[in-house]
């Protein structure tokens, strides 16, 4: 069982560290419904699930009080794989799971909490499938496969009522 879990973790890691070749997603003009969906996903990333605490507002990853968090801008995961990591977390790392019933059965990576033991991921904010879908859509629209964040990205995230983005103006 241990070997199986380690193999699984290694597979996830390999996928995460694979060279990012996902093309930047074109930002064609969005329909009101699409814009609403992105805003919904942003609020989950920013506040509800507080993903930015560890991954940083621009999803470029970080070290510090959130532990060591990978850059989501550089991820090579597909949206489906990405959603699975949000739902199930990453065993053996600080990435929490967001389906509160994960590991109560075999829905995540085919393993239970008992089988994972000390490698079981941490519990994050509970998200419904539609919320996970929204946060994945948001990240694939705004971060994944993109270069460094810009001043415009910053204002888009934080709004105009703060000095937060001023250092990026130059």
Partner 1 sequence: MKTLAFAGALMCSLLAATALTPVQAADMTHERALNVSKEPHNWLLHHGNYEGWRFSQLKQINTENVKNLRVAFTVALGGYESGGRYKHGNLQATPIVEDGMMYVTDGWGSVYAIDVSGGKKGLIKWKFDPGTDRAWAGDVACCGVNNRGVALWKDKIISISLDGRMFSLNKATGEMVWERKVADPAIAETLTLAPLVVRDLAIVGSAGGEFGIRGWIDATDLNTGKQAWRTFTIPGAGEPGNETWKDGKERWKHGGASVWETATYDPETDTFYQGIGNAGPDWDPEYRPGDNKWAASVLALSATDGKIKWGYQYTPNDPYDFDEISEHPIINAKVNGEDRKLVVHAARNGFFYALDRTNGSFVAGKQYVDQLTWTPGLDPKTGRPLNYNPNTDVQQYAPGSHGSRAGAPSGRLCPSHYGGKNWEPGAYNPELNLLYIPSIEGCNTIDTVEQKDFVDQGGPIKPRERFAGGGGRPTERLYGSLKALDPATGETKARLKLEYPNYSGALATAGNLVFLGHYDGTFSAYDAKSLQELWSFNMGTGINAPAVTYSVNGKQYVAVLVGSRQALNVWQNAPELKNTATASMLYVFEQQ
Residue ranges binding partner 1 (CB under 8 A): 46-48, 50, 52-53, 56-57, 62-69, 94, 96, 118, 122-124, 158-159, 162-164, 166-167
- Name the minimum Å distance from CB 140 to partner 1: 22
- Name the minimum Å distance from CB 46 to partner 1: 8
By the 10 Å C-beta count (0-12 exposed, 13-18 middle, 19+ buried), 121 is classed as buried
Q: Closer to partner 1 by CB, 25 or 128: give it.
A: 128
- Name the minimum Å distance from CB 29 to partner 1: 27
Residue 86 and residue 139: Cα distance in Å, rounded? 12
Q: Closer to partner 1 by CB, 40 or 57: give it.
A: 57
Residue 4 and residue 8: Cα distance in Å, rounded? 6
Query: Could you give the C-alpha distances from 106 to 60, 99, 113, 156, 161, in angstroms and in order?
Result: 31, 12, 9, 39, 46
Q: Closer to partner 1 by CB, 62 or 84: give it.
A: 62
């Amino acid at each position: 069982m241990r070997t199986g879990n380690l193999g699984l973790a290694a597979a996830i890691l390999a996928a995460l560290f694979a060279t990012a070749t996902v093309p930047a997603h074109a930002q064609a003009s969005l329909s009101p419904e699409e814009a609403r969906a992105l805003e919904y996903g942003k609020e989950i990333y920013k506040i509800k699930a507080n993903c930015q605490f560890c991954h940083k507002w621009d999803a470029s990853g970080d070290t510090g009080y959130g532990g060591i968090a990978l850059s989501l801008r550089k991820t090579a995961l597909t949206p489906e794989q990405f959603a699975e990591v949000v739902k199930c977390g990453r065993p053996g790392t600080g990435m929490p799971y967001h389906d509160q019933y994960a590991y109560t059965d075999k829905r995540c990576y085919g393993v239970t909490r008992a089988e994972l033991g000390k490698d079981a991921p941490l519990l994050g904010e509970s998200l419904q499938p539609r919320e996970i879908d929204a946060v994945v859509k948001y990240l694939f629209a705004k971060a994944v496969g993109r270069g460094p964040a810009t001043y415009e990205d910053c204002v888009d995230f934080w709004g105009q009522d703060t000095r937060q983005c001023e250092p990026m103006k130059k």
